[in-house]
């Protein structure tokens, strides 16, 4: 079957199938009219034998691959070897729209589907025209808003590496900008506004266009006196009077009527009246442009909660749900408590849908609170795979039950492995310990990891409590007990205290974290700050005494819509306490690697032993500055500088004996070198952005390489996740 589609017909893609029954009639008309077709007509053969060949002619600015991508969904049938004329017409429409979005305002895309000797050919005919840029934007009649604020409505938000001096002209975006100007004026009370435009004036060569907008602002309206009448709730009178004073003098829009009505309903709902009837009318005030708001109220009956109706909780116990509700039987209805109840249930993460409503009145006994739930699957299985410059291949498998015995408690088991070690965690958590909003966790853990200087094995248990103090601020307090064994320290036996290779640690740990980042994987604004303190003591059941303090900050600043500046600073120190003079090798700080100073291999920044293995230190610093440029939806580029050190930065003496024979000597050396010996990494990174986080490739050079320490000129790191 043949079909003929005109430009006018495909101005509504997706509706073209409706004209399919006319195809035969059109075919006969074509045959009677002769071989000629109008320039805007497209010919389509519905089906034909053999293979399907798709070709493009006339496309110079964009390749066939890019045009196919612009119409990916519409060309699925062609990829399967099927010809559907409406889909082909829609594909041409999408390609034409793509051109116009890129500034080719006169571009057209037609097509022809015809038989060829070995099958059927789909030929897309492209007439690109010239790319048009905006030469200027003019406003006539505007006085309330400055020109700069009106021009901001035309800002190009598309990401790109470089921006042109003159932005490309996209008519759809220009018209949307004019609509935003209209909304801007309406929000300021210019309800009689008249906008004419956009008026487009092209240059002779059609490569530049001047956009003009004529503005007749009209009269500006403001909120005048607000008058309440009818049945007022005494407790709500004062807050409503304050709200009325706040509205008075603001620009008037019809939305103010809705805003006033909603506030009255809200205030009445706070004091037990869930369904007041409120009518808001507008009258002209005494002065020009002033709008008087008249609110007439019928408060309705006051409601007490008589009982709870729970539905949909197939697994969760009723007691768990009732404990999350701030609104209980016997309480006067409160919209605030209803909202808090909803938030408490939502934050459990156990439900895909929640509804809290008042049931119909039950005589004089009040009304029931109906709680309807739709539960999410409580059991989760997670699998992760990744790659690190040091660990190489790594993976993780986890199983969790998030609603243990219907109580909302959690049980999780995780196991991870890489070419450098493995770890296992079994953890029980109660997010509402003893009915509070305190989270209790009891993790059991085992880990073994091959470090550059040694192999470290740890088995531990912890008792943890965490709480979100305010939004974005989380605190953690825990007691940790672990058994540590350090082995494979060949060449270092003389330098390491034998008592510090197999020891138990009992420690109290405190940490506070503030996180305001707008994205966990690729933030463009906000920051993260943490401060942690750990105190290990023999009095806490261990065999070592030390105090460890760490802190860190990350901050992200948007320089341009697609450009972000990221800053990072991490620091920490660990000091022996009591009679202890040294810090065990397994507790020291190490620096260098894919997530710290990227010009060094893992942990190899800092002092070495006589065999060339890293010794670590009792303090460290890492500073980074990184400019991240979004290239497209999936790729970004970064330029970075890393600085880092280990303190004290002095090796053991030539005999292999320990250089610090007392606690005071080690403490003095730590703080004397705290900000000395910084090493540098300068490099370039490329990130491929995935929904689960970026995959990145970093290339970093070491501008002050120390050959005697075996340092490399350059490091290449391939990993998952950003460095910070």
pLDDT for the residue 495 = 52
Give buried/exposed letters for 176-212 (b at 16+ CB in 10 A, else e): ebbeebbebbeebbbbebebebbeeeeeeeebbbebe
Q: How far is CA 672 from CA 17, 456, 599, 665, 675, in A?
A: 80, 29, 25, 10, 8
**Cα separation, 646 vs 573, whole angstroms:** 10
**Cα separation, 408 vs 432, whole angstroms:** 8
**Cα separation, 13 vs 2, whole angstroms:** 19
Nearest to 451 by CA among 559, 326, 320, 587: 587
Give me the DSSP letters along 162-199: S--SSPBP-HHHHHHHHHHHHHHHHHTT-TT-EEEEEE
Nearest to 698 by CA among 645, 643, 644, 642: 642
pLDDT for the residue 25 = 34
pLDDT for the residue 514 = 98
Alpha helices in 192-307 (DSSP H): 234-247, 255-270
pLDDT for the residue 334 = 97
Alpha helices in 399-446 (DSSP H): none
In contact, 288 and 218? CB cutoff 8 Å: no
In contact, 291 and 222? CB cutoff 8 Å: yes
Nearest to 198 by CA among 135, 258, 138: 138
**Cα separation, 628 vs 685, whole angstroms:** 9
Tell me the HSE value of 560 on the side-chain side, using a 13 A CA sphere. 16
Q: What are phi and psi of 495, to 5 degrees?
A: -100, -5
pLDDT digits (tens, 9 = 90+) for 431-489: 999 988 899 999 999 999 999 989 999 999 999 999 999 889 999 999 999 999 999 77
pLDDT digits (tens, 9 = 90+) for 80-105: 888 889 999 999 999 999 999 999 99
pLDDT for the residue 44 = 73
pLDDT for the residue 697 = 96
**Rg, C-alpha atoms of the chain:** 35
In which residue ranges of the chain is pLDDT below 50?
A: 1-4, 8-9, 11-39, 157-163, 493-494, 653-658
Nearest to 114 by CA among 37, 9, 33, 19: 37
Cα first-last separation, the chain: 60
Give me the DSSP letters along 531-587: EEEEEE-GGGT-S--EEEEEEEEEEEEEEETTEEEEEEEEEEEEEE-TT--S--GGG
- Structure-block tokens of residue 661: 């024979």
pLDDT for the residue 88 = 94
Sign of dihedral through CA atoms 261, 262, 267, 273? positive
Domains and CATH numbers, the chain: 2-127 (3.10.20.310), 133-216 (3.10.20.310), 222-298 (3.10.20.310), 305-375 (3.10.20.310), 451-627+643-677 (2.40.160.50)
Strands 367-375 and 305-311: parallel
E strands, 439-545, are 439-450, 455-470, 473-487, 502-515, 526-536
Total residues found in the chain within this entry: 724
**Cα separation, 252 vs 185, whole angstroms:** 11
DSSP single-letter state for residue 614: B
pLDDT for the residue 498 = 56
Give buried/exposed letters for 422-437 (b at 16+ CB in 10 A, else e): ebebebebbbbbeeee
Q: Which residues contact 528 (CB under 8 A, 6 or more apart)?
A: 513, 514, 515, 516, 517, 552, 553, 554
- Determine how many CB atoms are found less than 10 A away from the CB of residue 281: 11
pLDDT for the residue 32 = 34
**Cα separation, 67 vs 111, whole angstroms:** 13
**Cα separation, 342 vs 346, whole angstroms:** 6
In contact, 657 and 631? CB cutoff 8 Å: no
Which H or E run includes 352? strand 351-358
DSSP single-letter state for residue 81: T
């Amino acid at each position: 079957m043949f079909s003929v589609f005109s430009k006018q017909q495909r101005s509504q893609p997706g509706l073209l199938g409706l004209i399919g029954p006319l195809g035969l009639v059109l075919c006969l008309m074509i045959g009677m009219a002769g071989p000629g077709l109008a320039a805007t007509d497209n010919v389509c053969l519905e089906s034909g034998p053999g293979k399907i060949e798709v070709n493009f002619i006339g496309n110079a600015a964009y390749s066939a691959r890019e045009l196919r991508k612009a119409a990916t969904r519409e060309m699925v049938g062609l990829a399967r070897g099927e010809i559907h004329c409406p889909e082909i017409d829609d594909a041409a429409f999408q390609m034409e729209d793509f051109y116009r979005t890129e500034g080719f305002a006169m571009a057209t895309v037609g097509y022809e589907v015809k038989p060829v000797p070995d099958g059927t050919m789909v030929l897309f005919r492209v007439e690109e025209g010239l790319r048009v840029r905006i030469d200027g934007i003019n406003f006539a009649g505007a006085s309330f808003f400055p020109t700069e604020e009106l021009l901001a409505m035309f800002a190009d938000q598309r990401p790109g590496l470089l921006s042109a001096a003159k932005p490309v002209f996209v008519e759809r975006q220009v018209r949307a900008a004019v609509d935003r100007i209209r909304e801007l004026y309406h929000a300021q009370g210019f309800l009689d506004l008249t906008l004419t435009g956009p008026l487009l004036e092209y240059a002779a060569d059609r490569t530049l266009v001047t956009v003009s907008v004529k503005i007749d602002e009209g009269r500006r309206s403001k909120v005048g006196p607000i008058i309440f009448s009818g049945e007022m709730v005494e407790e709500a009178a004062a807050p409503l009077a304050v709200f009325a004073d706040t509205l008075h003098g603001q620009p008037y829009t019809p939305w103010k009527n809705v805003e006033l009505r909603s506030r009255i309903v809200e205030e009445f709902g706070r004091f037990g009246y869930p369904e007041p009837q409120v009518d808001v009318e507008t009258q002209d005030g005494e002065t020009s442009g002033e709008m008087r708001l008249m609110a007439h109220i019928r408060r309705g009956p006051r409601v007490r909660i008589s009982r709870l109706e729970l539905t949909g909780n197939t697994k969760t116990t009723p007691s768990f749900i009732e404990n999350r509700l701030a609104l209980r039987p016997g309480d006067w209805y409160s919209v605030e408590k209803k909202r808090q109840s909803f938030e408490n249930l939502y934050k459990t993460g156990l439900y895909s849908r929640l509804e809290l409503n008042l049931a119909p009145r039950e005589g004089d006994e009040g009304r029931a609170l109906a709680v309807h739930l739709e539960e999410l699957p409580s059991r989760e299985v997670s699998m992760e795979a990744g790659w690190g410059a040091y660990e190489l291949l790594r993976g993780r498998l986890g199983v969790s039950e998030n609603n243990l015995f219907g109580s909302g408690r959690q049980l999780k088991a995780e196991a991870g492995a890489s070419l450098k070690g493995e770890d296992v965690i079994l953890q029980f958590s109660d997010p509402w310990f003893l009915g509070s909003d305190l989270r209790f966790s009891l993790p059991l853990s085992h880990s073994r990891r091959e470090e550059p200087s040694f192999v470290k094995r740890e088995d531990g248990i912890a008792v943890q409590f965490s709480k979100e103090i305010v939004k974005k601020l989380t605190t953690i307090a825990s007691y940790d007990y672990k058994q540590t064994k350090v082995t494979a320290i060949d060449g270092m036996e003389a330098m390491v205290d034998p008592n510090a290779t197999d020891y138990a640690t009992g420690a109290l740990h405190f940490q506070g974290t503030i996180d305001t980042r707008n994205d966990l994987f690729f933030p463009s604004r906000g920051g993260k700050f943490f401060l942690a303190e750990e105190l290990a003591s023999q009095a806490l059941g261990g065999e070592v005494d030390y105090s460890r303090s760490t802190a860190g900050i990350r901050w992200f600043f948007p320089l341009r819509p697609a450009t972000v500046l990221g800053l990072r600073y991490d620091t920490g120190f660990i000091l022996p306490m009591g009679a202890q003079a040294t810090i065990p090798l397994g507790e020291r700080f190490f620096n260098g690697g894919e997530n710290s100073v990227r010009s060094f291999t893992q942990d190899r920044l800092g002092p070495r032993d006589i065999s060339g293995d890293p010794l670590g230190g009792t303090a460290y610093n890492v500073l980074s500055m990184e400019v991240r440029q979004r290239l497209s939806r999936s790729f970004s580029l970064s330029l970075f500088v890393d600085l880092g050190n280990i303190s004290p930065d002095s090796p053991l003496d030539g005999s292999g004996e320990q250089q610090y024979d007392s606690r005071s000597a080690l403490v003095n050396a730590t703080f004397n070198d705290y900000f000395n010996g910084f090493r540098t990494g300068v490099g370039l990174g490329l990130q491929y952005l995935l929904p689960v986080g970026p995959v990145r490739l970093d290339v970093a050079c070491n501008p002050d390489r120390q050959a005697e320490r075996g340092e490399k000129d350059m490091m290449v790191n391939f990993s998952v996740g950003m460095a910070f």
